[in-house]
Structure 1
Amino acid sequence: MKTEIYILGGFLGSGKTTLLTNLLQYEKENNRKVAVVMNEIGQISIDSTVVEDDTPLKELLNGCVCCSLQDQFEVQLEDLLRSNDLDVIYIETTGAAHPMEVYDACLSPIFANTVDMRGIISIVDLNRWKNREKLSLQIRMLLLEQIKHADVLLLNKMDLVENDEQAALLYEIQSINPKAKTFFTSFSKINPTHLLNTKLIKKEAYNAAHITKHLNMKSFVYTFQSSINRIDFENFLRSLPDNVFRIKGFIQFTDSTTIYSFQYSYGVPTLLPDLMKMPLTLVFIGESINQDKMITELQLLEQKNPTK
C-alpha cells in the first residue's frame, strides 16, 4: 500500500497550520497513521506545537524545501517512509514556497514508487489577494503560481471580504485555475472529505520562485528576556511597514503572568493564552526587512520595562 502525500501550500499567514490542525484531528478520529513534515523559513519552530507527540514529525528550518533544503527534505521524507507504516503524510510548506518545486521533490527516484501524490491544497488569503497590488511583483507572481498549480483551492478569510467582492474574487481566481476544486472558508474550516480523495490535475511547466534569489525573503528571531508593556507593543505593531508579512511566537506582558501565543498576518495580530511555558521568542518574516532597525525597536520595548 502506497503512502498518500498532500502538500499544504499558500502564502505566509494564509491559514495552513490551522488547516493542518483540523486534518490531523480528522485522521486521528479515523484511526489513520499520519506523519507531518513542517518547513519554516525561520531558525526556530513555532507551529510544530500543534502536532501531538505520538505523530511522527520532521522539521526543516531556516530555508525552503523547494531550494536550499531540498536534499535534506528528501532524506527526511525517506526516513519517515522507511521507519513508519503510514497511511498519509502532510507537508506544510513555508509561505514563500512554490508548491510545484515541493511536488517535484516528493518524486525522488529513491521513494517515488512508495508514495501516492494526492494533491496540492493551496490556501488563498482573500484579503491579501484583493490588495495584492501593494505587494512586490515577485510576491504577486508567487501568489499566482500558488493558485495556478493547486488541485484544491481554499479561499480563506472570507469573513474579512464583503459579500459582493467575493464573487468577483472567485471569478479572478477561477480564471487562473479553472480545474481546481474551490471552496470559500473562514479559519480554514472545511469538511476534510472535500479535500481528501481529490482528483490530481495534470501538472504543467512553472516559474521558479526561490526565497532569497527571487523574493528577497528574510527572517530573524528575537527572544525577549522579560515581559513588555502591552500598549508599547501594540504601538510597535502599528508602526511596522507593509513588507513585514508574518510574525509568530510567544510573548508576555507586564500586566499579566500569562504567556500568549502570538500571530501576526497582514497587519492583523492575534493573541491566545498558551498553557505551555514557552520561551518568549518571536519569528519575523518579510521581504527586504530592516532587521537592525526592528531589533533596536524591540530592545527599546524591553528597556522601558527592565526585569526587576
Structure 2
Amino acid sequence: MKKVEVYILSGFLGAGKTSLLQNILSQEKQQKRKIAVIMNELGEVSIDSNAVSEETPLKELLNGCVCCTIQGQLEVQLENMLREYDLDALYIETTGVAHPIEVLDACLSPLFAENLNVKAIISIVDTKRWKDRSKLSIQLRKLLIEQVQHADVVLLNKIDSISDDEQSAIVSEIQGLNKNGKLLMTEFARVPLSMIQPKQMIDKQQHETAHVHEKLHLRTYVHTFTHQIDLSEFEQFLREMPDTIYRIKGYIGFTHSSDSYLFQYSYGMPIYMKEPIKRKKTLVFIGEDLDHNMLREKLILLEKSE
C-alpha cells in the first residue's frame, strides 16, 4: 500500500505559515499531486481556511491545539482523510504555539501509522520576531527555540525587514541551535517545493543512508509484533534504550496474559492499560536520529526469545 507523505508546518504566531501553505499548494497543484490539508486553530472560528481552495480536501481542528487538548480529534480526522481520499501528501498547519514533538506524536496513532510517512517538520521563523524575542515570556522564548531545534527545514521569513548584518547574526544563531537542518531565506514564505521535500530513496539498501544523508532530526519507527513477548525482557529493553527516544505508543501483548495492552511511554515513564478490544500489536517510536536497524533487531530478538 502506498504511504501518504506528511509535512508538519510549524512556526510561531504570525511567522507566515498560511502564506507558506498557499505557496506549497499552488506548486503541488502544478505537479498534479493529490493533496489534503489539516488546519489547527486555537480559536472557535477558522481564520485561515479560505487560504485553501475548495478542490483541496480540508479538515479543521478548532478551539484547541493538536499537541495537547485535541490530539484525539487529529487522530480521527487523519483516519477519515486516509479512508476518504487517495492522497499523495498531507500538510498539517499547526497553531503558532504548537511543539513539534507533541504534534508528531499526535500524528502517529498506531492504528494507521504504517500508512503514513512523515517526511519533514518545516518551521518558519519571522526574523524580526526572532531578533526581538527577548520581549517574549521565558516559556514562549523556549518554544520558539525548540520549534527551530526540532525542524528538518527552517525558513527565515521576512528577511527584507532586517539589515544584512542582522541577517548574518540570525543565521549564525539558528545554525548554532540546529546544525543539521536545512536553512533557507525567504520573503513572503516563497520557496521552491523541491527545497523543502526530502528526496525519495527507492533502493531499499539505501534506506538507512537516506536518513543519515537527509539529517532529519525527529524520526519515527513503526514495529509490528507477530507474537507475544516477555514483560520483564521488554522492560529491560526500555531501560537500555537511548535517551533520544522521546515517545513510544501502541498496542502490545505479553506472554503472561491473553489481554492486549495500550502502551504509552514518555519522559522515561511506561504506562500499560488493558484494552477491551484486540488490536494489531504495533508500536510507534518517536525520537532523534533513530537507529532503525538497532530497534528492529532488538524487538525481533524479544519475539525470538519465546
Instruction: State the TM-score, normalized to the length of structure 2.
Output: 0.66
Q: Deviations over 1:59-115 (max 9, x none)?
A: 000110000000001000110011110000000000010011111111210110000
Instruction: Check whether the contact 1:118–1:197 (CA below 8 A) recurs between aligned residues.
Output: yes
Aligned to 1:167: 168
What SS does the corresponding residue of 1:67 show, helix, strand or coil? coil
Q: Deviations over 1:129-171 (max 9, x none)?
A: 1011111000000001100000000001101110111111100
Find runs of 4+ consecutive structure 1 residues off by over 3 angstroms.
none
* 1:273-288 equivalent positions in 2, closer than 5 A: none
Aligned to 1:52: 53
**Number of aligned residues:** 207
| Structure ranking higher in helix proportion | 2
What's the offset of the Cα at 1:197?
2.1
What's the offset of the Cα at 1:205?
6.2
Instruction: State the TM-score, normalized to the length of structure 1.
Output: 0.65
Q: Over aligned residue pairs, what C-alpha RMSD do you find? A: 1.4
Q: Does 1:183 align with 2:184?
A: yes
Distance 2:194 2:61 in 1: 28
Aligned to 1:209: none
Distance 1:61 1:200 in 2: 33
Aligned to 2:78: 77
Instruction: Check whether the contact 1:119–1:200 (CA below 8 A) recurs between aligned residues.
Output: no
Distance 1:202 1:92 in 2: 19
Query: Compared with structure 1, are the counterparts of its residues 205 and 158 closer, same or farther at alpha carbon in structure 2 (3 Å cutoff)?
Result: farther
**Letter aligned with residue 45 of structure 1:** S
Distance 1:112 1:131 in 2: 39
What SS does the corresponding residue of 1:128 show, helix, strand or coil? helix
Instruction: Check whether the contact 1:118–1:200 (CA below 8 A) recurs between aligned residues.
Output: no
Match for 2:217 among 202, 212, 220?
A: 202
Aligned to 1:136: 137
Q: Could you tell me the percent identity over the aligned residues?
A: 56
Distance 1:55 1:155 in 2: 27
What SS does the corresponding residue of 1:103 show, helix, strand or coil? helix
**Letter aligned with residue 137 of structure 1:** I
What SS does the corresponding residue of 1:183 show, helix, strand or coil? strand
Aligned to 1:304: none
Distance 2:95 2:215 in 1: 22
Unaligned runs of 5+ in 2: 200-213, 219-243, 247-306
Unaligned runs of 5+ in 1: 207-308
* 1:1-308 equivalent positions in 2, closer than 5 A: 1-197=2-198, 199=214, 201-203=216-218, 204=244
**Letter aligned with residue 216 of structure 2:** I
Distance 2:95 2:19 in 1: 14
**Letter aligned with residue 201 of structure 1:** L
Q: Deviations over 1:210-234 (max 9, x none)?
A: xxxxxxxxxxxxxxxxxxxxxxxxx
